[in-house]
Amino acid sequence: MKKLIEVRNLNIAYGGKAGWTNVVQDVSFEIARGEAFGLVGESGCGKSTVAYRLLGYGTINSLVQTGEVVFDGMDLLKLDTSALTRLRGNRIALVPQNPTTSLSPGMRVGSQIREMIATHRALPDGISMERRVVELFALVGLPDVGHRYPHELSGGQQQRVAIAMAVACNPDLLVLDEPTTGLDVTTQRQIIQLLCDLRASIGMAMLYVTHDLALLAQIADRVGVMYAGQLVEVAPCNELLAAPAHPYSRGLIASIPTVDGTDRQAGGLRGVLRRDQISTGCKFEPRCDFASGPCRTTPQVLQPVGDVRFVACMKWREAAVPQTPAGKPSQRVETTRQDTLLSVTDLNLSYRKPGSFDRFFRKSIPPVVRDIDLEVRAGEVVALVGESGSGKSTIARAISGRLPPQSGSVSLNGDLLAPALKSRSVEQLRQIQYIFQNPDASLNPRRRIRAILERPLDHFGIETNEMALAAVLDNVGLHAGYLNRFPDQLSGGERQRIAIARALLVNPKLLICDEILSALDVSVQARIVELLRSLKEKHAVAMLFISHDLAVVQQLADRVAVLYRGEIMQLADTGTLLGDSLHPYTEMLLDAAPGLSKDHYVSHPPAIPTSRAVPGIGCPLVGRCPRQVGSNCAETRPPVRQTGSGYIRCHVPVDELASPTVRPGLKPLSVET
Amino acid sequence: MSTIASNPSRRFARFGAERWHAAPGPFKVGAVILATHVLFAIVGFFWTPYGFAEMGAGLPLSGASFQHPMGLDQIGRDVFSRFMHGAHIVLLLAFAGTILGMVAGTTLGLLSGYVGGWFDEIAQRIVEAMISIPFLALALVMIIAAGPALAGEPVLIVLVVGLVYAPRIARIARAAAMEIATREYVAVAELRGEGTWSIVFREILPNAANVLLVEFSLRLSYAPILIGALGFLGFGIRPPTPEWGLMISENRNLLIASPVTVFGPGLGLASLVIGFNLFTDGLSRMLGQRPVAGA
């Protein structure tokens, strides 16, 4: 294969107050024409720094010490600005992470694409600019949205526009920096599919930077695993996933939650990347299970193992031994039917308060969350799953009392809870504890951990001593040495542990975990899930676990409620839901979640794509549902049908949903490994 | 609880030689000027070459000489002694007034920003009304309203400085509080059922401290001007107390006969204001924010 771009011995340092820090060390790889290469690693490993250098771009405080990036015979690092300008966008294009901030908000998206083509004079002969723009939109699966502004498009559509812009000049290489990280599972899946199609039709090479190995499994030919600025393994994607050779790759793969159920936790990574604690030898040594004396002192470089595979580990033979399945299979302790702890009935929520005008005309405000019935038993974990904007957090806000409901009631232990926070008793407040998504924002940066932990105890009048604090820190996998630190001296995972400790300390009956994993790295996520599981077993605390990630949910939850646009579409036991999903929306979610091997995802086309969902009248899934049965779906509210372990809300009868044969024109999904 | 009240300022307390070297230039120059002023004020409080109200220390209006470096005023008082004794007055009044303004303004502003609603509306309309009046006019109105019993008392000056500053500081504090109120640690405290005061002072105030510290030092730099102006207009401290603004006012008629008599207080006020300004500039750079221009 012909090399398109080759990176040789790249060393990049960042300048800071304390001098230069090496961020990227001796990175070498090449990408062939038309090949998709993935770069993967935890945050802070230098993957984006490398990716931007492929465009000859670096931040002002970074310095390339040695190395070359050879693109088509030219060293990009030696080119001057005007030569780079000709190259960027034209032959090497970038799809940035966040389309909301990368598209100019004050410009119609059509003119943004036109600008790209005009700058590089890349208009093919015999075609007008307007035609070309429409053609590009069609290429990325959009109607002609050229006259719209970015805010008029959804996140997924914005990313499609960004991709259309990147491929406008038929580039040879497309650099993608976490292009789907901010998107929903289903949208993410569509973008990945789009990229695969584009690659096939245009034949460009791709560098795909991500922290998500499961995504790379769907799109990349070869994968480079980065750790602390070094490539530790380069291998064909399927080989890497099947038999990782470097202990780090192995840990990374083991950390990924997948929907197919097997309990992979045993081989996860411990510790976090600390650049100040790196030994002179192998950088991964402090976290490695296979480490021995020589590892600490001998630097490891990439060595070929096999034809197309490179590993930077002297013990790769030991590490590459296929993993024995972790001791116990995922056994779920059947919670015996216990007393209902929390019950939510007929909850309707809206963020707008009716003004005097609305009241005068008896106008009702359409609720954003409708008819929620939910029950959490003592010691049980119930998950709320849905795409962004489906109302998961809104429900949690209402339960915690931060958003008084429009109608409906919430009761705890049989006692009705007051709608507003101010009128709830101290005891009720203590029993429900809330853990927020972002640990950076939920701990007061100006207070020491000790003060952060002691304040709730003091407030609720709970006696405390040093032992109790040490015990709770121990419980979440930290130690008493953390008490005198400030939150900014902790890593993201550690901060989230402190937030969990703070909630546990007051002995709550119910923990509300609002997307508490989404701000964390995969390996850290895996350990927090582990922690939550052990807490659930030890303390019998009930949890309402909010997440967009079905794979995480299946490891933790007893029951799952699937939300779509503010309505519960299905409520079922986790096992039932994953094994026998019934509801069309649940099916869509499950299909979209990437597994650890190429799964040839086929999205189900909606049965009646033209019908529009009207909130509060028909089924919210109308227009997107592959099983829509006609106008009935759009005009009447779907009935609630009881199933074995819960209920679903759908017009299609349960027994019909259970049989896959009625799906018109759909291939059954073939699972290949 | 002592542990809860663990002071965040302890982090800033360790100000060793290392930090001094790392500090920005303006900060160092400002700090040296201010330290000189403080030293001068302390010395002047305990010792002056002549009594500050001692008449006939020499020939009135005889100009600068070795015994009287700043000359003598029209009733024969040694201007340098008066200048030395006056140094502590302007410093103390400026500090006391600004601290009063800070306490009142911060409390009002943080509450207004956090509580919001009608409380915020009313508080902000009052604040706007006060800001819209030029500060000297506002100060004069307050002094006249206070009546003759309080006229010329230091307490009145402190009160006036505090009240003139409070609304301006309240605006800054409100903006900071509104931003901090959206953070999740505030929501955590709310979910715990903490009271408004507790949230404002435990959660919001420590995080607004940087902004408020810069604001404090900025206000401090304007205070000597305000106090000097009041003294100059005859609404300041009662004579014969040698307040610098008053001294300039007393001697300005004799500017031609003995110009040296107004140099001392004029230079003193100017260097104090410059010192505060440089200090503020450096401080805000160290805390990573720009001073609010024209506020």
Percentage above 90 pLDDT, chain A: 5
Chain A residues near any Cβ of chain B (below 8 Å): 400-402, 421, 424, 426, 429, 432-434, 436-438, 441-448, 450-451, 454-456, 458-460, 486, 502
Q: How far apart are CA A56 and CA A363, in angstroms?
A: 58
Which pLDDT score is estimated for B224? Answer: 84
- Closest partner residue to A429 (CB to CB) among B11, B183, B193 is B193
Is residue A316 predicted with pLDDT exceeding 80? no
Complete DSSP assignment for A94-113: EE-S-HHHHS-TTS-HHHHH
Given an 8 Å threshold on Cβ–Cβ distance, is B6 in contact with A448?
yes
CA of B201 vs chain A CAs: smallest distance (Å): 12
CA distance B182 to chain A (A): 10
Contact A191/A162 with Cβ under 8 angstroms? Answer: no
Q: How far from each other are the two terminal CA atoms of chain B, in whole angstroms?
A: 37
Over range B29-48, report the average pLDDT. 86
**Number of A–B residue contacts, CB under 8 Å:** 65
Q: Inform me whether the C-beta atom of residue B8 falls under 8 Å from chain A C-beta atoms.
A: yes
User: What is the predicted pLDDT for the residue at B184?
Assistant: 86
Residue of A nearest to B12 (CA): A446
**Cα–Cα distance, B98 to B218 (Å, whole number):** 10
Q: With cut-offs at 50, 70 and 90, classify the pLDDT of residue A17.
A: low
Q: Give, to the nearest 10 degrees, the angle between helix B205-232 and helix B79-115.
A: 140
Closest-approach residue (CA) in chain B for A483: B3
Once rounded to an integer, what is the mean pLDDT over residues A25-44?
A: 87
- For residue B220, report the phi and psi dihedrals to the nearest 5 degrees: -60, -35
Lowest mean pLDDT among A342-356, A601-615, B225-239: A601-615
Yes or no: say if A442 and A470 are a contact pair by the CB < 8 Å rule: no
Query: Is there a contact between B192 and A459 if contact means CB atoms under 8 Å apart?
Result: yes
What is the tens place of the pLDDT at every residue in A92-109?
A: 999 988 888 888 888 899
Cβ-in-10-Å burial (0-12, 13-18, 19+) of A361 comes to exposed
pLDDT of B87-135, one tens digit each? 888 888 888 999 999 999 999 999 999 998 899 999 999 999 988 988 8
Mean of pLDDT values over A648-668: 64
Is the pLDDT reported for residue A261 higher than 70? Answer: no
Does residue B291 have a pLDDT over 50?
A: no
Residue A126 backbone class (left: φ over 0; alpha: ψ -120 to 50; beta: rest): left
Helix (H) or strand (E) holding A77: none
Is it the case that residue B292 has pLDDT exceeding 60?
no
Average pLDDT of chain A, as a whole number: 81
B188 and chain A in contact, CB less than 8 A: yes
Nearest to B183 among A426, A441, A454 (CB): A441
- Kindly give the interhelix angle for B117-132 and B154-180, rounded to the nearest 10 degrees: 130
For residue B185, list chain A residues with Cβ-Cβ distance below 8 A. Answer: 441-444
Chain A hits for B193, Cβ within 8 Å: 421, 424, 426, 429, 459
Q: What ipTM goes with this model? A: 0.72
Tens-digit pLDDT profile for residues B188-205: 898 888 888 989 988 899
Q: Return the number of other C-beta atoms located less than 10 Å from residue A328's C-beta.
A: 8
Considering only CB atoms, which chain B residues are within 8 Å of A456? 192
What helix, strand, coil percent values describe chain A, rounded to 5? Answer: 35, 20, 45
- Token pair, residue A58, equals 């670096």
Q: Is residue A426 classed as helix, strand or coil in its secondary structure?
A: helix
For B170, B194, B215, the CA distances from B106, given in Å and listed in that order, are: 5, 20, 10
Predicted confidence (pLDDT) at residue A668 exceeds the cutoff of 50: no
- Among chain A residues, the shortest Cα distance to B189 is held by A456
Cβ separation B192–A458 shorter than 8 A: no
- The whole-number average pLDDT for the span A660-665 is 45
| HEC profile of chain B | CCCCCCCCCHHHHCCCHHHHHHCCHHHHHHHHHHHHHHHHHHHHHHCCCCCCCCCCCCCCCCCCCCCCCCCECCCCCEHHHHHHHHHHHHHHHHHHHHHHHHHHHHHHHHHHHHHCHHHHHHHHHHHHHHHHCCHHHHHHHHHHHHCCCCCCCHHHHHHHHHHHHHHHHHHHHHHHHHHHCCCHHHHHHHHCCCCHHHHHHHHHHHHHHHHHHHHHHHHHHHHHHHHHHHHHCCCCCCCCCCCHHHHHHHHHHHCCCCCHHHHHHHHHHHHHHHHHHHHHHHHHHHCCCCCCCCC
Share of chain A above pLDDT 70, in %: 89
Using CA coordinates, name the residue in chain B closest to A443. B185
Q: How sure is the predictor about A152, in pLDDT bands with cuts at 50, 70 and 90?
A: confident
Contacts of A632 (CB under 8 A, 6+ apart): A651
Indicate which of B1, B2, B4 best probes the interface with A, i.e. most A CBs within 10 Å of its own CB.
Answer: B4
> Is the bond leading into B148 cis (omega within 30 degrees of zero)?
no
Alpha-carbon gap: A502 to the closest alpha carbon of chain B (Å): 10
- Which chain A residue shows the shortest CA-CA distance from B198? A459
Q: Is A353 exposed, middle or buried (0-12, 13-18, 19+ CB in 10 A)?
A: exposed
The C-alpha of A375 sits at a distance from chain B's nearest C-alpha, in angstroms, of 21
B24-46 average pLDDT score: 86
CA distance from start to end of chain A: 26
Chain B contacts of A434, Cβ < 8 Å? Answer: 187-188, 191
